[in-house]
Homo-oligomer: A and B are copies of this chain.
């Protein structure tokens, strides 16, 4: 392979034609670039005759976000690919299969999931995914437990953490989630109608203390290998299947950050349902579905994580110290709630938004949904260290959604 350059479509076809575990020899392949062009090229390669297909994802050496462009390491392609392979081993069937990785080209060739839909779109379209809560809680429990000091050799874990040092992508999170929304920053992005909310975020001392504590854990607590960006845009679903994609933010961090990301995005969609649901009855019904799903994600995660701990914990003291598992799960719940709140706030006033809210066409409804999201987000952040059950977080969300 030659040194790095962004692939043209014909080159992508030439490389794909050599993936013989997917395509029959001599297959006539076609190629379409389907990436959003901000961070990566994504080629969808298909063989019409056999019906087979694959995805080739190539990292670009820069990031484009709202017109800005900044350099970004190609090493993130290695991190993403290695994370996918770890996740594939620990949560089989819940991430795309990797066929090949080319380090020089920063290129991962993997399973095509175009029979799935991006979950964010699915939720906007009021889809229901009966496998989702069970699948994602399995993904979370397995990947977080078995990459932590509870579930893997503690010396190998240190070596692995070294392979997932990811400064550039972590900095994006540190800035956009744990700093900018709470100050005046060119990275912020919110509508003039909620200037009062943005101002309140900048001046809320109790909020700042909690965000500083969550930020500190994100910076220092290497509990487990995180996906690192587990919103509903990183999850492909069908009613029968769940696939987690795009772990380029993977690093060793606090477990609650991944769980909180899932919870936050379910709640953001719930806030957006003031628009997407056609009437009050279907809105109430769909919101109940979302809150139930959030609860099942946590309770499923907790039950599976505790079961893994009881069966497979490698740490003698963690296995035997009375009360330690309960204490750990309580802190994990609190982290989850705090990070969920931080993820909600940044999606309203920070750089990157979500379609669940931004695509609401009616300005007044959109503004109300933004205020609701902020009310939930701020309350989850402020209450996180007092939360004793997931139900308390759901009560906060339900109250804000109703009024």
Chain A residues at the B interface, C-beta cutoff of 8 Å: 149, 154-156, 158-159, 161-162, 165-168, 170-171, 174, 178-179, 182-183, 205, 208-209, 211-213, 215-216, 219-223, 315-318, 320-324, 327-328
Contacts and interface: CB of A to CB of B under 8 A. Distances in A.
Contact of A324 (B155, B156, B178, B209): B209
A178 B318 CA distance: 11
Number of copies of chain A assembled together: 2
Contact of A208 (B155, B220, B320): B320
Contacts of A208: 317, 320-322, 324
A322 B209 CA distance: 6
Contacts of A171: 154-155
A323 B178 CA distance: 17
Contact of A183 (B154, B156, B223, B316): B316
Contacts of A219: 149, 154
A207 to B, nearest CB: 9
Given A208-B317, A209-B324, A212-B321, 18 more contacts: A155-B168, A155-B171, A158-B166, A162-B165, A179-B317, A183-B316, A208-B321, A209-B321, A211-B317, A212-B318, A213-B327, A215-B315, A216-B318, A216-B328, A220-B222, A220-B223, A221-B221, A222-B222
B149 A216 contact: yes
A316 B184 CA distance: 12
A171 B157 CA distance: 12
A165 B321 CA distance: 27
8 contacts: A154-B167, A154-B171, A179-B316, A208-B317, A208-B320, A209-B321, A213-B324, A222-B222
B154 A159 contact: no
Contacts of A162: 162, 165
Contact of A209 (B165, B167, B223, B323): B323
A342 to B, nearest CB: 12
Contact of A149 (B166, B213, B220, B222): B220
A268 B124 CA distance: 64
A174 B183 CA distance: 41
Contacts of A211: 317, 321
Contact of A221 (B159, B170, B215, B220): B220
Given A161-B165, A212-B317, A219-B149, A154 B179 contact: no
A314 to B, nearest CB: 11
B165 A159 contact: yes
A317 B178 contact: yes
Nearest to A254: B220
Contacts of A316: 179, 183
Contact of A167 (B159, B167, B315): B159
Contacts of A168: 155
Contacts of A327: 209, 213
Contacts of A220: 149, 221-223
A328 B178 CA distance: 17
Contacts of A315: 215
Given A208-B317, A208-B322, A324-B212, A174 B154 contact: yes
Contacts of A216: 149, 318, 328
Contacts of A167: 154-156, 158-159
Contacts of A182: 317
A174 B153 CA distance: 12
